[in-house]
Amino acid sequence: VLLNNIADNICLNDYPVLFFCYDDDRTELRHRTFARFSKQSIETFNKRTATNLRQIYQLPEIKKIMSLKYVVQQMIHVEKWCDLINQIKHKHGKPPVIFIDYLRKLRTEKSTFDERLRIDDILSKLTEIAKNNNTPVIAISELGRDSYKAGQRLSMASFKESGTIEYDASWLGILGAVDEDGKLKENWDTIIEQDGNVDLIIFKAKRGTGSTGKVSLKVNKETMTVSDRPVE
C-alpha cells in the first residue's frame, strides 16, 4: 500500500513511474488507487461491485496517474530495462522513477546458483540504471530470516542476507511494529494486520534523501491510505 501511494504521488507531481510488480496483480494496484481517491472500500473494486466507475475514471487524480504510471508484470531481464526507460523518456521528456516489488524476483542474464552473488549482480545493474538515467530506483527487499522474530532488534544487520544492499543503497528503511528500543513487538504481524499500525525505521539516508529515525504510520486497509500516526 505504501509503495503504491508513493508511486501515485510521484505521478501527481508530473513524473512518470515504471512499476515492476511481481507480487501483486496490475489490477490490484489499480484498485488500490481507485479506493484511495474515491474514498470507497477496496472490496467494492475487488468484488466488482463499484457502480460509479465512469465517474472515478474521470477524477483528475486518476486520469493523471493512469497517464504516467506504467506497470510491468512479465519478467524482463534487468539488462533490457533501458529500452522501456528510453521509450518513457522519449514520450514524457524525463526518465521514470522505478519501483520494484520485489527485489529477489528480478532476473538478469547472468546465471548463478549462489543467491547472494545473484542479488549482488542485480544490485550492481540497478545502481548503473539509476546513475545512467539520473533517476531513483525504489525496491522492496526481504530481511534475514532471524530478523522476523519477536524481540529482535532491527538494525543494518537485518539486511545481511540481501547481498550488498546495505552498501549500494542511498536509503534504507524497514517496516515493522517496534517498541521504544527498536525491537519487534510480540505479535507484530497481527498488530499490523488488525490495527494498521506500522513503523518505518530509517537506518540510512544519504545524498539528500532525508534523515534517519522512526516514522509512525497508520494504514487504512479499506481505503488503501497511509497517514502519520500520533506518537503513543
161 pLDDT tier (thresholds 50, 70, 90):
low
If you average pLDDT over residues 95-109, what whole number do you get?
Answer: 93
Q: Are the C-beta atoms of residues 186 and 164 closer than 8 Å to each other? A: no
Helix count and strand count (H, E) for the chain: 9, 8
Distance between CA atoms of residues 216 and 45, nearest Å: 28
List, for residues 22-38, the tens digit of each pLDDT value. 888 899 999 999 999 99
Q: Looking at residue 115, what is its pLDDT?
A: 82
pLDDT at residue 160 above 80? Answer: no
163 pLDDT higher than 70: no
Cα 203 versus chain centre, distance? 17
Q: What percent of the chain has pLDDT over 70?
A: 97
C-alpha grid cell for residue 182? 527498536
What span, in angstroms and rounded, lies between the C-alpha atoms of 78 and 33? Answer: 27
CB atoms within 10 A of CB 158: 22
**Res. 156 pLDDT band, cuts 50 70 90:** confident
Of all residues in the chain, the percent with pLDDT exceeding 90 is 60
Could you tell me which of 58, 75, 144, 69 has the C-alpha nearest to residue 99?
A: 69
Nearest Cα to 96, choosing from 176, 152, 156, 13? 13
**Least confident stretch, 100-104, 124-128, 133-137, 227-231:** 227-231
Average pLDDT, the chain: 90
